[in-house]
Amino acid sequence: MTTGRPFSSPIDLLKKVTSSRRPEDAIRRLVTDLRSRVQACKGPVKGVKYPPYDPRPFAELLGATEIRGADLDVAGRIVVNEADVVIEFNRESTASYRRRFTLAHEVGHLALWEAEKKLVPDSKPRRARSQAVERLCDAVAAELLAPHAEIRSNWRAVCKRPLSGRIGPDPLKMIEDIAKEFGVSLQMAAIRFVEVCSPQMGVGLLDIRKECFVWCHRVPDRASLLALLLRRHKEGVAGNLKDTGGLFSGADSYALTNTEVDSVPAEWRSMGFDPALCLVVVKPRTFSSARRRRRRALAF
């Protein structure tokens, strides 16, 4: 950013254009405006009004003249040639949800260019590769594919349903439903769940065989939690699992098993295609309290 621009950062740009005070509000207003404009321009196009959402109409609205696969060493990019704006994605990415997220991320770049032009009319498209810009485009992509308002509304509906012998709603089932309804990966569905529905929780994919987290988000004290879960697994806690339906993750469907263990401050499910992998939803406060109790016991 140059000193001549009336904004200091990409998110400051969005906040000014959308008249928002908070970054998350700016992102939601931006995507809501794009959705309204696409519907007004293109009418009842599939993937715009109802999920799973298609980033292509949004890209076309923002000036993309072509979307094509290419041999790239990155997930995607925008190529500007005079009047043509082309979005390219890595053709080796076979999972549909990966391609859609890549396209939605590039829509974020196009939206930032349009927003900048509103404040600086003579500005030209620039491919900014700063971490701040990339994170912001990821956030725009997440809101475009799995809107905050829709996920929150679905979770509230789940919480209002009569409970059948459970202490509360099942967060793992909600994560599955997000992945199915919005056609996104399990990882994105899990992260959106904790961001939108339960900020006090953390999520992760645990590999029991390799004794590590494949990925995790907002998981406190990962080493201690990992040791606890692995110990419980070795003690046979995970041996009494029962089949429960299927899990949709991108283009693949996996059989699931499920259990609830009161002594472990987490809920998990092993994925039938690989029994070494478990989806874990962590309750940090509970886990932290249990850890403090153990430390006090050891002190005596």
Lowest mean pLDDT among 110-124, 171-185, 224-238: 224-238
48-97 pLDDT, tens per residue?
Answer: 999 999 999 999 999 999 999 999 999 999 999 888 999 999 998 778 88
> Within a 13 Å sphere around the CA of 236, how many CA atoms are in the beta-carbon half?
0
What is the mean pLDDT of the segment spanning 166-179? 81
Does the pLDDT at position 230 exceed 90?
Answer: no
Q: Which range is most confident: 82-96, 142-156, 208-222?
A: 142-156
Does the pLDDT at position 272 exceed 50?
Answer: no
Percentage of residues of the chain with pLDDT beyond 90: 44
For residue 164, what pLDDT is reported? 58
188-198 pLDDT, tens per residue?
Answer: 998 999 999 98
For residue 1, what pLDDT is reported? 42
Determine the 3-state secondary structure of 2 from DSSP: coil
Per the CB < 8 A criterion, the answer to whether 254 and 272 are in contact is: yes
- 281 Cβ partners below 8 Å, 6+ apart? 171, 172, 175, 190, 201, 202, 203, 266, 267, 268
For residue 254, what pLDDT is reported? 26
Measure the N-to-C terminal CA separation of the chain; round to a whole number of Å. 58
Confidence band (pLDDT; 50, 70, 90) for 167?
Answer: low
pTM tops 0.75: yes
Question: What distances in angstroms separate CA 94 from CA 11, 79, 130, one per listed residue?
Answer: 32, 22, 27
Query: What is the C-alpha to C-alpha distance for residues 278 and 270, in angstroms, rounded to an integer?
Result: 4
Percentage of residues of the chain with pLDDT beyond 70: 76
Q: What is the DSSP letter of 267?
A: E
For residue 236, what pLDDT is reported? 58
Neighbours of 128 (CB within 10 A): 16
Q: What is the mean pLDDT of the chain?
A: 78
Tell me whether strands 212-217 and 76-81 are parallel, antiparallel or unpaired.
unpaired
Does the pLDDT at position 213 exceed 60?
Answer: yes
Determine the 3-state secondary structure of 275 from DSSP: strand
Compare 70 and 203 and report the one with higher pLDDT.
70
For residue 270, what pLDDT is reported? 53
Go through the domains of the chain in sequence order and give each one's CATH number.
Answer: 10-145 (1.10.10), 171-299 (no CATH)
Number of H-type helices and E-type strands within the chain = 10, 9
What is the mean pLDDT of the segment spanning 244-264? 27
For residue 238, what pLDDT is reported? 44
